[in-house]
Amino acid sequence: MPRFGLGVWKTDNRTSRDSVAAAIKNGYLAIDTARQYGNEQGTGAGIKLGLEQAGLKRSDLFVTTKLYNGEQGDYDQVSKAFENQLKDLGLDYVDLYLMHWPVDKTYIESYHAMEKLYREGKVRAIGVSNFDNDRMEKLLEEAEIIPTVNQMEFNPTNQEHEILAFDQSHDIEMTAWSPLGGGESLTNPVIDALAKKYDRSAAQIILRWEWQRDIITVVKSTHEKRIIQNSQIFDFSLSDEDVQKINELDQGRRGLWYDDFQWHNPNGKVANGIDQWPDTRK
Ligand code: A2P
Question: Which of 18, 28, 180 to mutate for ligand 1's pocket (most ligand atoms within 8 Å of CB)?
Answer: 180
Decide: helix, strand or coil at residue 98.
strand
Q: How far apart are CA 14 and CA 26, in angstroms?
A: 18
Is there a domain that residue 276 lies in? no
97 in any annotated domain: yes
The answer to whether position 271 is within a domain reads: no
151, 159, 223: which to mutate for ligand 1, most atoms within 8 A of CB?
A: 223
Q: How many domains does the chain have?
A: 1
Task: Please give the single-letter amino acid code of residue 209.
Answer: W
Contact (CB, 8 A) for 37 and 10: yes
Report the amino acid identity of residue 277: W
Classify residue 218 as left (phi > 0), alpha (psi -120 to 50) or beta. beta
Asked if residue 277 is part of any domain, the answer here is no
pLDDT in tens, the chain (282 residues): 999 999 999 899 999 999 999 999 999 999 999 998 899 999 999 999 999 999 999 999 999 999 998 899 999 999 999 999 999 999 999 999 999 988 888 999 999 999 999 999 999 999 999 999 999 999 999 999 999 999 999 999 999 999 999 999 999 999 999 999 888 889 999 999 999 999 999 999 999 999 999 999 999 999 999 999 999 999 999 999 999 999 999 999 887 665 444 444 444 444 444 334 333 332
Residue 71 forms part of a structural domain: yes
Say how many Å lie between the CA of residue 208 and the centre of ligand 1: 15
Cα 16 to averaged position of ligand 1 atoms, centre (Å) = 14
Ligand 1 centroid to residue 182 C-alpha, Å: 7
pTM exceeds 0.85, yes or no = yes
244 by Cβ neighbours in 10 Å (0-12 / 13-18 / 19+) ranks as exposed
Beta bridge partners of 7: 32
Residue 39 lies in domain: 4-260
- Residue 273 covered by a domain: no
170 is in an annotated binding site: no
CA 5 to chain centre: 9
DSSP assignment letter at 172 = P
The domain that holds 121 is classified in CATH as 3.20.20.100
Domain-located, residue 274: no
In a domain, residue 265? The reply is: no
Cα–Cα dist 110/280, whole Å = 21
* Interatomic CA distance for residues 92 and 95, integer angstroms: 10
